[in-house]
Amino acid sequence: MNHFTPLIFLVGIFCLTNGLTRITLHKRDEGKHLSGDHFTGYYTFRSDYEKFLILKRITGVGVKMSNYLNSQYYGVIGLGTPPQEFEVVFDTGSSNLWVPSNKCSPENRACMRHDRYVSELSLTYIPDGEIINIEYGRGSMSGHLSIDTLTIGNITVENQTFAEAINEPGSSFINAKFDGVFGLAFPTISVDNVIPPFYNMIKQNLIPQPVFSFYFKRNSKQKDGGEVIFGGWDEDKFDVNDMHPIPLSDKSYWQFKLDSISVDLDGVNDLLNGSIDAIADTGTSNIVGPADIITAINLQVGAKMYEGVGIVNCDEIEDLLPITFSINGRAYTLEGRDYVNKFKGRYTTVCITGFTGVIDFEPPWILGDSFLGKFYTIFNVTQPSVTFAKLKS
**Over its length of 393 residues, how does the chain's per-residue pLDDT go in tens digits?**
443 332 223 333 344 555 677 877 656 544 333 333 333 443 444 444 443 443 333 322 212 222 233 455 678 899 999 999 998 888 898 899 999 999 988 888 889 999 999 999 999 999 999 999 875 334 468 999 999 999 998 899 999 999 999 988 777 778 777 888 899 999 999 999 999 999 999 999 999 999 999 988 776 556 667 788 899 998 999 988 889 999 999 999 999 999 999 997 665 678 998 899 999 998 888 899 999 999 999 999 999 998 888 999 999 999 999 999 999 999 999 999 999 988 777 778 889 999 999 888 888 999 998 999 999 999 999 999 999 999 987
pLDDT, residue 24, reads: 72
Counted residue by residue, the chain has a size of 393
pLDDT, residue 265, reads: 60
pLDDT, residue 72, reads: 59
Q: Give the CA distances from residue 98 to residues 106, 195, 229, 281, 285, in Å, rounded to whole numbers and listed in that order.
A: 19, 12, 20, 18, 20
pLDDT, residue 79, reads: 98
pLDDT, residue 26, reads: 58
Q: What angle do CA 96, 98, 101 make, to 5 degrees?
A: 160
Q: Please tell me the distance from the alpha carbon of residue 370 to that of residue 61, in angstroms, as a whole number.
A: 25
**In the CATH hierarchy, which top-level class contains the domain 66-206?**
mainly beta
Q: Please tell me the distance from the alpha carbon of residue 6 to that of residue 282, in angstroms, as a whole number.
A: 8
Q: Annotated catalytic residue: which of 48, 148, 259, 281? A: 281
Q: Please provide residue 37's backbone torsions phi and psi, each rounded to the nearest 5 degrees.
A: -95, 5
- Domain range 236-390, its CATH number among 3.90.1150.10, 3.40.50.970, 1.10.540.10, 2.40.70.10: 2.40.70.10
pLDDT, residue 12, reads: 38
pLDDT, residue 188, reads: 94
pTM over 0.85: no
Q: Are 13 and 20 in contact (CB under 8 A)?
A: no
* Catalytic residue flag (residue 281): yes
| Residue 250: strand pairing partners | 255
Q: Please tell me the distance from the alpha carbon of residue 247 to that of residue 232, in angstroms, as a whole number.
A: 18
Q: What angle do CA 69, 70, 71 make, to 5 degrees?
A: 105
Return the domain boundaries, the chain: 66-206, 236-390
* CB contact set of 37 (below 8 Å; sequence gap of 6+): none
End-to-end CA distance of the chain: 34
Torsion sign over Cα 134, 140, 145, 146: negative
* Catalytic residue flag (residue 369): no
Q: Annotated catalytic residue: which of 91, 148, 179, 259? A: 91
pLDDT, residue 243, reads: 92
